[in-house]
Structure 1
Amino acid sequence: MKLIRWTFLCVLLFIACEHKELCYSHPHFVSVRVTFDWSQIYNHEKPSGMRVIFFPKDEKGESWTFDFPDGKDRVIEIPENDYQVVSFNYDTEGIAWWNSERFADFTAGTREASSPEGVLMYTTPSWLCGDDLSDVRLKGIPAGTEVSVPIVPKNRVCRYTYEVNGIRNLSRVTDVRASLSNMASSLLMAGDRLPEELSESLLFGGTLSDKQVKGGFYTFGYCQEGSQPNVFKLYLKNRNGGMYVLEQDVSQQIRGVPVSGHLADVHLVIHLDYDIPDNPGESGAGFEVDVDDWCDVNEDIKL
């Protein structure tokens, strides 16, 4: 009888010890109030919501993602740890997200597109704001303590607009596309910086207005390294199916605008001297290329 009692007591002690070890193996959660300071957004309305991602600084375990509708402050619960944080507006249909597993590699990018000539290009991004924090310490927080993590969203894209003058017979034009070379099609969210040694062409749309072709789009900026020019190309399709391509080097206009990091809003003014032919094959100042269906492009800015 004594042996049975002693065995039962040992089992109880073993279970109690195991329970204590399991308790210590579980993470303790911290109450965090995420706040948003919108003072740096002055040229765009607030987004419909913000996404905040907490990456464990030791890179052990998965990241934690929280959405904040209307960009309003609220309290979240998150395991005790040290984190790196990326935040951005989640109403970004024109942006694809890459390398979402690591803070340092988390990238906002755009999608591949084909120019009317069949050349690989990239679409332009939608408007993007965000913030990044490299050191958020949430270890050793006393129980019952609420920690504040401030987010200050800032613009992460430039605003480019353009006007093209000197094109006659615009009534013969049925569709417009344009491109700009030596630009960036992606952005590293950590540090708000452009990837190195990348130079791509962006494809975007345009509209006909009186005697001008106008357009506007958002972009991460131009590639500041190297000596490649920024070439603006205009693709005009006439009513009989012909397409004509006009181009101009706009490097001086782009690089003449002061840059803050990778950001600078630019307005391009392009002067050409060209008559839109009525029929394919007629002579003109531009050059004619074959064209099938035109791909869709973003039209992000209302002019």
Structure 2
Amino acid sequence: MMTPFHSFHMRRMIPVLLLLPLMAIITACDHKDLCYHHKHMVKLRLEFDWSDCEDPERPDGMCVFFYPEQPGLETRRFDFTGLQGGEITIAAGRYRLLTYNNDTESVFFRGMESHSTHEVYTRSGGLFESVTRGNQSNKGIPRAEGTEDEDVVICPDMMWGCSAIDITISEQGISYICVPVKDKEEWMERPPIVTENTITLYPHELTCIYTYEIRNVNNIEHIYQATASLSGMAPNLMLAEEELGRKPVTLPFEAYSDGVSKITGRFITFGHHAELPDPHRMMLYVWTNDGKAYSFGSESPRFNVTEQVHSAPNRRHVHLIIDGLDIPTPIDPPNPDVPGAFNPDIDDWGEVFQDV
């Protein structure tokens, strides 16, 4: 038989017992919310495999951008000295990735807020950039026929890089797709790579190396300074898809005389857009030791190197050849002050037209 004392205590205990399951539910909900919003940080290693690079030249370091594909994550940039890579710590989630060398000096970047708009380009320049070491007006300087309206921009730096997609980073492991250039044709049906804690990237050349030689140059001993240009080239590169810009530009670059019979040079370019019909015409600008200035190539067929550019066996390494050039024989005696008196504003050009 329950006494009044027992009845009183039972009435007090019943509300407490009813509250216990409710407190457990509230506690469990709070725990799940905290866990859901917490960013799980994962330590992983980035490695660079350079087997896709033909040229022995290599950069001093690389940067890597992780672009998130889900809300709540932020874009991250990591920089590495050297070519090996290293360890990073990043929030678990889904990403896309871009990497390229971080030792550039001549290029600029824009659209860096997203993977698809990240772009590299160069500034406007002068046709005599290589000899004046600075920008100047291109007004009055002879141009190749049909290229007079092209913008003049400076050559880019040598660049290496690649991209990776479908990256999933979790505490259980990593999956991603980064395809070596040499394996792209065979990769289409393969699944993503799954690893425990490593992403391997395969940088390749993003810019092109062009070399040229003008052979059998007569009266070359009278040249004290020269520079050159090439028209119809791409002004920029979209890094994610490696898509070249479609507006053709003219690139100025250095020219060197061997003092015997040959003028040579080497320059870097983003390349040319294969779908555009714009011609690729070289121009050579020469100053002789009698104070005269001459231009070659404005209408000369031999300076039209379009076919050489388009048919090059390797679009990343193009070698151009122009055979035969006659430098006018000086009428006036050489001027000993000419080497120190270069005038970038000179407009009294002698345009030399030579048939094939």
User: TM-score, normalization: structure 1?
Assistant: 0.78
Q: What residue in structure 2 maps to residue 43 of structure 1?
A: 55
- Are the aligned partners of 1:184 and 1:198 in contact in 2 as well (CA < 8 Å)? yes
Q: What residue in structure 2 maps to residue 7 of structure 1?
A: none
Q: Trace 1:153-192 onto structure 2 (pairs within 5 A).
A: 153-192=203-242
Q: Trace 1:149-298 onto structure 2 (pairs within 5 A).
A: 149-195=199-245, 197-209=246-258, 210-247=260-297, 248-258=303-313, 263-276=315-328, 278=330, 291-292=344-345
Q: Name the % identity.
A: 29
Using the alignment, how far apart are the partners of 2:163 and 2:295 within structure 1? Answer: 41
SS of the residue 2:197 aligns to: strand
The structural deviation recorded for 1:142 is: 3.5
Using the alignment, how far apart are the partners of 2:215 and 2:344 within structure 1? Answer: 24
Using the alignment, how far apart are the partners of 2:203 and 2:44 within structure 1? Answer: 18
Tell which structure's C-alpha radius of gyration is larger: 2
The structural deviation recorded for 1:60 is: 6.1
**C-alpha deviations, 1:125-175, integer Å up to 9, x for none?**
22111110122112x4349x9522111111112221111134333333232
Using the alignment, how far apart are the partners of 1:229 and 1:265 within structure 2? Answer: 19
The AA in structure 2 aligned to 1:207 is Y
**C-alpha deviations, 1:232-279, integer Å up to 9, x for none?**
1111123454321111111111112135xxx33111111243224537
- Are the aligned partners of 1:31 and 1:146 in contact in 2 as well (CA < 8 Å)? no
The structural deviation recorded for 1:77 is: 0.5
- Are the aligned partners of 1:52 and 1:86 in contact in 2 as well (CA < 8 Å)? yes
Q: Assess, with a 3 A threshold, how the Cα gap between structure 1 residues 42 and 115 changes in structure 2: closer, same or farther.
A: closer
1:121 equivalent to 2:152? Answer: yes
Q: What residue in structure 2 maps to residue 56 of structure 1?
A: 68
The AA in structure 1 aligned to 2:345 is D
**C-alpha deviations, 1:68-111, integer Å up to 9, x for none?**
21122322101122111001111222322221111111112122
- Are the aligned partners of 2:210 and 2:267 in contact in 1 as well (CA < 8 Å)? yes
Q: Assess, with a 3 A threshold, how the Cα gap between structure 1 residues 244 and 54 changes in structure 2: closer, same or farther.
A: same
Using the alignment, how far apart are the partners of 1:242 and 1:75 within structure 2? Answer: 59
SS of the residue 1:171 aligns to: helix
The structural deviation recorded for 1:66 is: 0.6
The AA in structure 2 aligned to 1:31 is K
- Are the aligned partners of 2:237 and 2:270 in contact in 1 as well (CA < 8 Å)? yes
Using the alignment, how far apart are the partners of 2:241 and 2:276 within structure 1? Answer: 21
- Are the aligned partners of 2:214 and 2:325 in contact in 1 as well (CA < 8 Å)? no
Q: What residue in structure 2 maps to residue 105 of structure 1?
A: 117
Q: Trace 1:81-96 onto structure 2 (pairs within 5 A).
A: 81-96=93-108
- Are the aligned partners of 1:167 and 1:276 in contact in 2 as well (CA < 8 Å)? no
Q: CA RMSD in A?
A: 3.1
Q: What residue in structure 2 maps to residue 134 of structure 1?
A: 165
SS of the residue 1:113 aligns to: coil
Q: Assess, with a 3 A threshold, how the Cα gap between structure 1 residues 250 and 59 changes in structure 2: closer, same or farther.
A: farther
Q: What residue in structure 1 maps to residue 143 of structure 2?
A: none
User: TM-score, normalization: structure 2?
Assistant: 0.67
SS of the residue 2:125 aligns to: strand
Q: What residue in structure 2 maps to residue 5 of structure 1?
A: none
Using the alignment, how far apart are the partners of 1:258 and 1:238 within structure 2? Answer: 36
Structure 1: 5+ residue stretches without partners: 1-13, 281-289, 294-303
Q: What residue in structure 1 maps to residue 20 of structure 2?
A: none
Count of aligned residue pairs for this structure pair: 268
